[in-house]
Amino acid sequence: AQSVTQLDSHVSVSEGTPVLLRCNYSSSYSPSLFWYVQHPNKGLQLLLKYTSAATLVKGINGFEAEFKKSETSFHLTKPSAHMSDAAEYFCVVVDGGGTYKYIFGTGTRLKVLA
Partner 1 sequence: DAGVTQSPTHLIKTRGQQVTLRCSPKSGHDTVSWYQQALGQGPQFIFQYYEEEERQRGNFPDRFSGHQFPNYSSELNVNALLLGDSALYLCASSLSHENQPQHFGDGTRLSIL
Residues that bind partner 1 (CB under 8 A): 32, 34, 36, 41-46, 49, 51, 90, 94, 96, 98-107
Which CB sits closer to partner 1, 85 or 89?
A: 89
Q: How far is the CB of 1 from partner 1 (least distance, A)?
A: 12
Q: How far is the CB of 104 from partner 1 (least distance, A)?
A: 4
Q: How far is the CB of 15 from partner 1 (least distance, A)?
A: 25
Q: How far is the CB of 101 from partner 1 (least distance, A)?
A: 4
**Percentage helix, strand, coil, to 5, in the chain?**
5, 55, 40
Q: Are 58 and 50 in contact (CB under 8 A)?
A: no
Which CB sits closer to partner 1, 77 or 104?
A: 104
Q: Are 59 and 47 in contact (CB under 8 A)?
A: yes
56-64 long-range CB contacts below 8 Å, 24 or more apart?
A: 59/35, 61/85, 63/35
Phi, psi of 59 (to 5 degrees): -120, -160
Which CB sits closer to partner 1, 14 or 41?
A: 41
How many other CB atoms are there within 10 angstroms of residue 58's CB atom?
10
Which CB sits closer to partner 1, 15 or 99?
A: 99
